[in-house]
Structure 1
Amino acid sequence: MAKINVNVDGVGHEEEVEPRLLLVHFLRDRLGKVGTPVGCDTGNCGACTISMNGKSVKSCSVLAVQADGAHLVTVEGLASNGDRHPLQKAFHEEHGLQCGYCTPGMLMAALDLLKENPDPAEEDIRAGLEGNLCRCTGYVNIVRAVQRAAREMAGERP
């Protein structure tokens, strides 16, 4: 067993884990962060995307021991004081989801994109989300949602 210290959604955790435990399973099974789904288990779909030290990572491709000392943010950590994050609001308002399975990963990847590029063009959004697959929507409303969130985060009215 290995001991790790992580900060998840603003809360510190010290845990003993098997060295082979995937981060997605640590988050879901040990910490109850079930908003991060297990999608493909191969790193292809992006449903399990979280923020690790400010960068989006696919948590099914990271071992829990690799996260030792890291600050992690899951989709559950986006809301603040009961208020949804602008990305969460925009996905709701622009109908950026259908079945919702990919949504947590899309939100986390979009968050990383908007940190790097607060005013992305449609092509930038599509490129920034290309590692996250949606089997339902066709991405049009997802792109609109990210554009809307970018405007709102910049202080414009949607």
Structure 2
Amino acid sequence: MNMMRGLCAGLGLLAMLRPACGAPVRAGPSMAEQRIIDRQISHIADPATRRAVQGQDMAWQMTTFLCQNAARRVLVRMGSEPHRFFLQDAGPGSQVVASAALVSGRGQFLRAGRGIEWVGFAWACHLDPATGHVAHFDASPTGPVQAGP
């Protein structure tokens, strides 16, 4: 009996240490966050569009369905047109899921009333994993975005 208890305790310790010993740990949404994402996707009427959205990576889904509305308020205060911003850029890794509590990245917005002037910014979306809601959204300008080729 003591041997069995010791074996079970050892296996439990091994399971707890496994991530610390090099096993990959995948950052992703909490259950509450996933429910919000799934609900938003289920409201997409066109089946082809719904499948295309489901095929997007988790960083894109979390950014789009959890962070975008909170970003709008902050970016408008920074001078953005309300519906002319992107929480990504053309570079790799422009959206990163650090954990269920933090998604961050680089983006750009169209400055209001200035013709075509795009401004780059870095952002962090702090989430409450228990509710799936944004606790705080931070953004800081990084400068003008250079026109493409």
TM more than 0.5? no
**Alignment TM-score, normalising by the size of structure 1:** 0.29
Q: Which one has more relative contact order, counting CA pairs under 8 Å at least 6 apart? A: 1
Which of the two has greater strand per residue? 2
Question: Larger Cα Rg: Structure 1 or Structure 2?
Answer: 2
